Amino acid sequence: MKRMRAGEKRKRTIRAAVLKWYRSHGRELPWRHERNPYRILVSEIMLQQTQVSRVLLLYPRFLQRFPTLGHLAVARTSSVIKAWRGMGYNNRALRLQQLARRVAAESNGLLPRSVEALMLLPGIGRYTAHAVACLAFGRRVPVVDTNISRILRRLFPSMSSFTQANGNDDWARAAELLPRRAAGTWNQALMDLGATVCVASSPRCDQCPLLSLCPSAHRVSRTKKRRTKPESGRSGIPNRIYRGRIVEALRALGRGQSMTPGTLARKAVDDFNKGDRGWFDSVLESLERDGLIRRRTRSRISLPA
C-alpha cells in the first residue's frame, strides 16, 4: 500500500514539474493555437519524418492553397503533390488527399473523433490517431512519439528491457501518467521536453525539470545500433532518393505537360547509362503503383491528373 502511494506521489510530482517547465519553455508552434481538426491533422501528417523547422515553413503555404478538407478533396492530385514540395515522402500527400476524399464522401467532411475511427483512414497510424483525437477533439488519450518514448524509458528504466521487444508498454506507462485534465497540454509538454532537453544523445540533464526524479540522469547508457537491412538502390543511393528526384522533376512541368522516360532518367540520375534502364523502369513502376506518377503512354510520363 505504501509502495502504491509512493508511486502515485511520484507521478503527481512528475506531472507538476513538467507542466511548470512547459509554461516557461514550451515551443511556440502555429498548430498549437489551432482548434480546427483539419489543420491539426495536416500538421501531424507533415511532422511524420520531417523536421519541425521545415514544417514551420511549409505548413502555412499548404493551408493557404488548401484551406479546408473540402478544398483538398476536390483538388487535382498533381496540385497536391506540387504543394508538398520540400516535405519529402510524397506518399503522405497522396494519403492525405485520399483521407480527405473519403471523409468528404462518407462523413460530410467531418473528421471522426475517436481513435478507433481515425485509424481506419488512409495514412493514419496509432500515433497520429491519438494525437488528432487528443489535440483536435480533447480526448483524454496518451500520445507516444519517439521523444515521449525516450523520456518514459529513462524515467522508468526497469521497463526498458521489456519495451525493446514490446513497445506497447510505452503506451501503457503514458496512459498511467495522463493527468485527469488538459491531456493535450500534457502530451505537448512531454514532446517538447524530449525534443529540446531529454534528447537522444547528450541529454541536457542539468536543464531538466525531472533531474531529481530520473534514475537515468547523467548516465544514459549507449546501446548498440541495430543493423538495418540496406535499402534497395543504385551506387549506394537508396531508391527513395531517386523516387524523390523523379517526382521533383515532374513537379517542374506545367499543366498538361509530360516527359519521356529517357529525359526523366537523365534529370534524376547523374550518370545514367543503358545498363540502368531495367532498374530505372522498376523505380517508375513503383511510383506508378503508389499513384505518384502517370504513364500517359509507354513513352510519356507526368504527375497524376
Q: Are residues 110 and 146 in the same domain?
A: no
Cα torsion at 172, 197, 28, 90 (round to 10°)?
-70
44 tagged catalytic = yes
Give the structural domain span for 288: 233-302
Residue 94 · residue 101 · CB < 8 Å: no
CB 293 within 8 A of CB 268: no
Q: Of residues 8, 28, 34, 44, which has the active-site annotation? A: 44
Last residue of a domain, one of 93, 121, 137: 137
Q: In terms of domains, do 44 and 126 share one?
A: yes
- Return the sign of the alpha-carbon dihedral for residues 199, 200, 201, 206: positive
Q: How many CB atoms lie within 10 A of CB 265?
A: 22
In this structure, are 128 and 57 located in the same domain? yes
Cα four-point dihedral sign 265, 267, 272, 273: positive
Predicted local distance difference test score (pLDDT) of residue 165: 45
What is the reported pLDDT for 227?
Answer: 63
| 10-residue mean pLDDT series, the chain (305 residues) | 71 96 96 94 95 95 97 97 94 97 95 97 96 97 96 84 57 94 96 96 94 89 60 87 95 91 93 91 94 88 93
CATH of the domain at 181: 1.10.1670.10
- CATH number reported for the structural domain that contains residue 104 in this entry: 1.10.340.30
The predicted pLDDT at position 163 comes to 45
Same domain, 174 and 241: no
Q: What is the pLDDT of residue 242?
A: 94
Domain boundary among 108, 137, 166: 137
If one counts the domains in the chain, the total is 3
CB count within 10 Å of CB 113 equals 14
Q: How many CB atoms lie within 10 A of CB 189?
A: 23
Can you give the pLDDT at residue 172? 93
Residues 240 and 233: their CA atoms lie apart, in Å, by: 8
Rounded CA gap, 222 and 204, in Å? 16
- Do 239 and 279 contact (CB within 8 A), yes or no? no
Please indicate, yes or no, if residue 261 is contained in any of the structural domains.
yes
Residue 223 lies in a domain: no
